[in-house]
Structure 1
């Protein structure tokens, strides 16, 4: 487990699946997550998905816990040991925790974990250009824009730009680990 001041990153268990199913079936949450078009997914479908995710060797997924409850998830995916890179993904599903710094704290913890425990050289991500709250969070942690794919994603009835961002370990170290 990884501990911050207000959040804990811990392993996901089957007890978290009902809560995660709520989040994954919330259209507003799913549109912000940048994934595929929202569609209804049953607890059984998502249980199978999470069970498989836990088995993957090139990913590390965590539940974000605050105040004793699951508020979302975060993880490192597409781990490339040769290049020492991984993609980070985060979703705060509990809207009561939006815009209050919980995501930023979780991102700092996962970045620290990636650089210090997994010996990564770079962590990268993709997000919709319209997700201003996420962009502010990533920039506050130290991510910089590395590219833009114009009108790349269909989301909420419109085509939006996809922002590519990255954070190098050398920059993280230089910033004093944010």
Structure 2
């Protein structure tokens, strides 16, 4: 897949290898090419089964831009300002002070470079520090051993298993529910 450059260089959250910036409608071309139509390896890890048109991608971005229960960040490599993935705080519940987080690295060539770990820590810090969240959870498929290892290294704890949760390419897979609380995150990362 051809690498696309990020048009804007506005750093919302800054890390060592990457920075995060808010997803914007001006990202439609890049997002339609690399985001929602990521390579097969990334599709497997995220459980993405559909292929989306540019028009569908544009409708999706427009719908999430006005959704106050989520914040979508693009993960951008500092090396060349290319978009390598996304990390999203969604289902933000300000009364209960909890949220879900999800992450996708769009191409397998960017796995193992620390982008995902750094993006997760930046997004968690933002969620706990700016949204005053108490709990953030995620769901990871049982075959994603690398992802599970990273989440545990960050401080997520396993809470349970959703049996046969994902049907992908003629097989069922379990999903593992994990969470991290604000004090657990602060003890490890601040």
Q: Structure 2-normalised TM-score?
A: 0.87
Q: Structure 1 residue aligned with 2:121, among 97, 102, 108?
A: 108
Matched, 1:143 2:156: yes
> How is 1:81-160 mapped onto 2 (pairs within 5 angstroms)?
81-160=94-173
1:7-34 CA-to-partner distances (Å, cap 9, x unmatched) read 1110112342223223322333222113
Runs ≥4 residues deviating over 3 A? none
SS at match of 2:23: coil
Structure 1 segments unaligned to the other structure (5+ residues): none
Q: TM-score, normalised by structure 1?
A: 0.92
In 1: Cα distance, 2:141 partner to 2:182 partner? 24
* 1:173 alignment partner in structure 2: 186
Structure 1, residues 82-140: CA drift from partner, whole Å, max 9, x if none?
11000001101032211111100000000000011110001100111111121112111
In structure 2, stretches of 5+ residues that fail to align are 1-11
CA RMSD of aligned residues (A): 1.4
Count of residues in Structure 1 that have an aligned counterpart in Structure 2: 175
Shift of residue 150 of structure 1? Answer: 1.7
In structure 1, how many angstroms separate the alpha carbons of the residues matched to 2:151 and 2:33? 25
Give the conservation status (yes or no) of the 8 Å contact 1:34–1:127.
no
Contact 1:20 1:72 in 2 (8 A): no
Which residue number in structure 1 is paired with residue 4 of structure 2? none
Q: In 2, are the aligned partners of 1:122 and 1:169 still within 8 Å (CA)?
A: yes
Asked if the contact 1:31/1:156 (under 8 Å) is kept, the reply is: no
* Helix, strand or coil at the partner of 2:20: strand
Structure 1 residue 69 and structure 2 residue 82: aligned?
yes
**Correspondence 1:21 to 2:32:** yes
